[in-house]
């Protein structure tokens, strides 16, 4: 985690253009927030799919079409999240291999 903190604006006396490090959120913070929101969205889609399956199995008012749609949405969102993770991992590996 210390390696990530060193890359934040303001580390080692580097000030981003247009202001001081404390006055502007860093790109790393914005990216982390974006990832966090997407993780929460995928989690909520999976919970929604679980609830609809449970309603169907217990004789609730969920139709099989609604259950299939909710499950498919959750599956696609999770697959996309895994692809993003794989691309980030590949990018990190490439950056590690750069010679400075």
Q: Where do the structural domains in the chain lie, given as residue ranges?
A: 26-97
Would the pTM count as exceeding 0.75? Answer: no
Q: How confident is the model at residue 7 (pLDDT cuts 50, 70, 90)?
A: low
Q: List, for residues 22-35, the tens digit of each pLDDT value.
A: 545 688 889 889 88
Angstrom distance (rounded) from CA 35 to CA 46: 17
For residue 43, what are the CA distances in angstroms to 30, 68, 71, 88?
20, 17, 12, 20
66 phi and psi angles, rounded to 5 deg: -65, -40
Model pLDDT, residue 21? 52
Model pLDDT, residue 81? 93
Under a CB-based contact definition with an 8 Å cutoff, are residues 10 and 21 in contact? yes
Q: Name every residue whose Cβ is closer than 8 Å to that of residue 27 and which is 6 or more positions away in sequence.
A: 9
Q: How far is CA 37 from the centre of its chain?
A: 6
Q: List, for residues 28-64, the tens digit of each pLDDT value.
A: 889 889 889 999 999 999 999 999 999 999 988 889 9
What sections of the chain are H helices per DSSP? 2-6, 27-57, 64-97
């Amino acid at each position: 985690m210390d390696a990530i903190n060193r890359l934040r604006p303001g580390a080692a006396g580097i000030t981003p253009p247009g202001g001081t490090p404390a006055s502007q959120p860093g790109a790393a913070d914005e990216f982390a927030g974006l990832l966090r929101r997407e993780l929460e969205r995928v989690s909520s889609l999976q919970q929604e799919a679980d609830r609809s399956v449970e309603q169907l199995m217990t004789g609730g008012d969920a139709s099989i079409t609604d259950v299939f749609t909710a499950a498919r949405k959750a599956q696609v969102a999770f697959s996309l999240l895994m692809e993003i993770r794989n691309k980030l991992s590949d990018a990190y590996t490439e950056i590690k291999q750069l010679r400075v």
